[in-house]
């Protein structure tokens, strides 16, 4: 949680490595990109608690009895009913695929995961955001968020059918209207993506040199640490999501 106060500093330190590239992105026209870290730091506490609502860290980031502490606890309780078991680190290196069988079609795959050291109770959307930011190819994403939406729509459809199959819901309408509306997934996903950005700005990019090409073959590194396109996409989406959510995330 010490990173909550290092977002601005980390962003300003790394910005020169990306600045020329960011100026070529239409979605960032007119955006004060220098202030991005400060804006993200302003909502970092709220974002952190909402993305990880089952870890009681409010006392470590806000004095007891203050308005900030109360706001953080309220934000945490809002998401508590969506608790589920998550992997915790669904990056590329932890996910494996194989054909379902010798006679399986090319798109019929089984999925296996390893490294469960971060597993525990969390939000499904937090894992989804982590996976998209850390493992998805740049060609599957777009700065305007349209390809991202397609991925989330597909995930939501699969999740909804799974909830019905496993007896959590009786039909799609119940899932969509009561149990887990698509709008809730979107809100939780955007919150989690901002939380990832504050970790990347304050911590991850301070650990690695800005040499994305030499690390591109590293299987264990996240996309934003080894792909310039992925890094620029993450920055662009951070700016866009902040512009949409800044008011309701400020404490």
The pTM assigned to this predicted structure is 0.89
Give residue 209's pLDDT band: very low, low, confident or very high (50, 70, 90). low
Structural domain boundaries of the chain?
A: 2-140+187-249
Cα separations (Å) of 4 from 7, 35, 48, 70, 232?
A: 6, 16, 8, 18, 22
CA nearest to 49, candidates 195, 186, 197, 199: 195
Question: In what helix (H) or strand (E) does residue 86 lie, and over which residues does it extend?
Answer: strand 84-86
Q: What is the pLDDT of residues 25-70, one digit of tens each?
A: 999 999 999 999 999 999 998 888 888 887 665 555 666 666 666 7
CA–CA distance, 195 with 52 (Å, rounded to integer): 9
Give residue 94's pLDDT band: very low, low, confident or very high (50, 70, 90). very high
């Amino acid at each position: 949680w010490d990173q909550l106060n290092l977002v601005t500093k980390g962003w300003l330190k790394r910005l020169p490595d990306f600045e020329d590239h960011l100026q070529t992105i239409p979605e960032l026209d007119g955006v004060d990109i220098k202030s991005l870290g400060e804006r993200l730091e302003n909502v970092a506490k709220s974002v952190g608690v909402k993305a990880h609502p089952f870890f009681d860290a409010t006392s470590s980031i806000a004095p007891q009895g203050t308005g900030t502490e109360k706001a953080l606890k309220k934000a945490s309780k809002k998401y508590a009913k969506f608790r589920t078991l998550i992997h915790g680190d669904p990056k590329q290196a932890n996910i494996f695929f194989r054909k379902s069988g010798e006679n399986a079609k090319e798109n019929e795959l089984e999925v296996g995961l390893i490294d469960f050291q971060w597993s525990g109770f969390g939000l499904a959307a937090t894992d989804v955001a982590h996976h998209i930011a850390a493992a998805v190819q740049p060609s599957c994403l777009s700065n305007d968020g349209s390809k991202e939406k397609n991925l989330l729509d597909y995930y939501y459809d699969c999740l909804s059918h799974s909830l019905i199959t496993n007896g959590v819901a009786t039909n799609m309408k119940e899932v969509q209207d009561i149990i887990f509306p698509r709008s809730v997934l979107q809100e939780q996903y955007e919150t989690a993506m901002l939380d990832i950005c504050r970790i990347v700005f304050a911590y991850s990019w301070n650990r690695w040199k800005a040499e994305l090409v030499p690390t591109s073959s590293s299987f264990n590194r996240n996309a934003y640490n080894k792909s310039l396109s992925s890094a620029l996409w993450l920055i662009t989406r951070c700016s866009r999501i902040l512009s949409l959510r800044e008011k309701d995330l400020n404490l």
